[in-house]
Structure 1
């Protein structure tokens, strides 16, 4: 994959979050089934966020697929929370999704006392075979995973690394109802880097809500660079973007009527 070429993601807009999530799930399931006809296992990475709930609910309700041949990962995790904290992304995904689907394996980012060692461990797991599908979103500040502007590195040499979260990213966690106050949100996290995310074969990006509209607009029409990390999605040849009416920027709504 070229890290400099710009392409336009396949964009679908919907009148509701539910329709958006169901459509994205249907496309993802087609991609997974196709791979299972050609290879023994499929490897997927998932984002942990309330914005992904409609998608995850639709995927979890699908029984006509051999999930035992699918290995699941997630893309980021807080540092500094207790191992049993419900706010941990691994715990959130387990509660809302991983416990509902009979995956062959689920690899969670752990809480090694040495975060750099944990980042290396997880990078090694990810590198054991190609990643087929990533289900992801875009942050209010345009972040991908926990790669926040302006320090996100679109050409990072690392696969997984430790990052400091910016104030907008941390406030989003409060606004999403994941933490009661800004002071409760950890300041650091482990994240997959942007090149690690872009190395997957297929990206399915689900972005609902009015709070994301500006980030979507900058991702699609602004410069590709660290000021809006999600602009890097335009460097991937097989990225599909799913929006609801609230997250669709005005210039796109004129071009792509929302589907029911």
Structure 2
């Protein structure tokens, strides 16, 4: 057994929904530790067969336990890993702690010796940044994506009104719907709805799905309905996360609170 995965917690239940593997854990901490162990194992396997790995991170409180556990995993040569993130607000002060790049700096980007970290920086020209980031993503394949699911079923900032399973773009500017914006307040990222930006830059659904391996971490009772729709609802952009059921290598990690079958 690989040293990085030696202490992986066991799930309460494990099941397959279409092509999606679903693992449910008793606690949020166990969920994060198991996801981190699996991500570490995938990283080590990739690095054993290629010179570098490129991976995308989500920024959200739901990812905190996993990222903390991942940063502590042994045996990973982070100097050969290039990091991206999947979305960023437009219009926030660059120093705001609510900026996703800043959140990821705190939780992972500055904690590990990455080969490179590519941050989405909307200023001063949002359209130019979309083009720049698309180019960076397309320089080589993306190996791993660490993502979550929003209360409205979004992945990245692909909310139901703007999600497109056949999007021709890799990165785009989107309008955030009010459910998504309210979630940011409920997550204590903003003091009130008026403080939450209305626009963001996001990786599109097809861009995320082109990654070789996806790890989706979704704890908490507030996400239970979104998880239920993801697993059992019709495949539709009305719940963008349903598309994860089509990916050939995606695991969904949930805890007792977010598990609709618990």
Normalising by structure 1, what TM-score? 0.93
Q: Which of residues 47, 51, 55 in structure 2 aligns to 1:40?
A: 51
Provide, for residues 42-71 of structure 1, a one-character-per-residue CA deviation record: whole Å limited to 9, x for no partner.
Answer: 001000000000100001112421100000
Is the 2:234–2:242 contact (alpha carbons within 8 Å) kept by the matching residues of 1?
yes
- Number of equivalences: 246
Any residues of structure 2 matched to 1:173-188 within 5 Å, and which?
173-188=184-199
The residue number in structure 1 matching 2:158 is: 147
Q: Are 2:3 and 1:18 equivalent residues in the alignment?
A: no
Higher relative contact order (CA 8 A, sep 6+): 1
TM-superposed CA distance for 1:183, in Å, is 0.4
Q: Which of residues 62, 73, 96 in structure 1 aligns to 2:84?
A: 73
Mapped to 2, the partners of 1:8 and 1:36 lie a distance apart of 25
Mapped to 1, the partners of 2:32 and 2:57 lie a distance apart of 14
TM-superposed CA distance for 1:85, in Å, is 1.5
Q: Are 2:175 and 1:164 equivalent residues in the alignment?
A: yes
Q: Are 2:238 and 1:227 equivalent residues in the alignment?
A: yes
TM-superposed CA distance for 1:151, in Å, is 2.4
Q: Which of residues 200, 213, 224 in structure 2 aligns to 1:202?
A: 213
Structure 2: 5+ residue runs without aligned partners?
1-16
Q: Are 2:223 and 1:215 equivalent residues in the alignment?
A: no
SS at 2:66's partner residue?
A: helix
Mapped to 1, the partners of 2:31 and 2:225 lie a distance apart of 19
Provide, for residues 61-105 of structure 1, a one-character-per-residue CA deviation record: whole Å limited to 9, x for no partner.
Answer: 124211000000000000001121111000000011111111111
Answer with 207-216 or 61-70: which moved more: 61-70
Structure 1: 5+ residue runs without aligned partners?
1-5, 254-260
Q: Which of residues 122, 137, 142 in structure 2 aligns to 1:131?
A: 142
SS at 1:205's partner residue?
A: strand
TM-superposed CA distance for 1:180, in Å, is 0.5
TM-superposed CA distance for 1:167, in Å, is 0.3
Normalising by structure 2, what TM-score? 0.92
TM-superposed CA distance for 1:120, in Å, is 0.9
